[in-house]
Amino acid sequence: MPIRKKGTKATPAISTASLPDIVFMLLFFFMVSTTMRDSEIMVQIRPVKATELTKLEKKSLVSYIYIGPPNQQYREKFGTAPRIQLNDAFSTDKDIRLFVENERAKLDEKLASQMTVSLKVDKDVKMGIITDVKQELRKANALKLNYSAVPRTEALK
């Protein structure tokens, strides 16, 4: 008969020495893989629907101009008329040249000529404000222009 020691066997405690390493690896992973939003959208954008769409290739070369009525929290101060948003502030069409210059300055000299300006416009905005923005973009020599849209789901009749 085998000899047994009296008493119960206790399971050894789980070592938590590697726990901080695991936590920091997870933290580092999420910091690297998460992208931060560039700017807060302060205008309401209901994009137009289109059938012939292409995807932008180099999003680092794209600068966005938002046009639409202010969001609910800004309506008391700015009204309900469509506004232009450049970065994190409401602006006028006269500020577009300075905006384009600042965006080009952020890019490498070789890539500055490839910068694209993307217009994210609410579908109910009148064409007059868009024309004013396009005229200012021409004056700023920002000739690569993109209109943001969403795919149309139903077939054209």
What are the pLDDT digits (tens) for 80-89?
Answer: 999 999 988 9
Domain assignment of residue 13, yes or no: no
Give pLDDT, residue 38.
Answer: 66
Give pLDDT, residue 7.
Answer: 63
Domain assignment of residue 101, yes or no: yes
Give pLDDT, residue 157.
Answer: 44
- The CATH number linked to 139 is 3.30.420.270
Residue 95's pLDDT band (boundaries 50, 70, 90)? very high
pTM for the structure as a whole: 0.73
Domain assignment of residue 143, yes or no: yes
**Domain limits at 134?**
48-150
User: Total domain count for the chain?
Assistant: 1
Domain assignment of residue 24, yes or no: no
Domain assignment of residue 9, yes or no: no
DSSP string, the chain: -----SSPPPPPPPP-TTHHHHHHHHHHHHHHHPPPPSS---B----EEESS----S-GGGEEEEEEEPBPGGGHHHH-SS-EEEETTEEE-GGGHHHHHHHHHHHS-TTTGGG-EEEEEE-TT--HHHHHHHHHHHHHTT---EEE-EEE--SPP-
Residue 12's pLDDT band (boundaries 50, 70, 90)? confident
pLDDT digits (tens, 9 = 90+) for 43-68: 999 999 998 888 888 888 999 999 99
Domain assignment of residue 14, yes or no: no
Lowest mean pLDDT segment, chosen from 2-6, 27-31, 75-79:
2-6
Domain assignment of residue 33, yes or no: no
Give pLDDT, residue 51.
Answer: 87
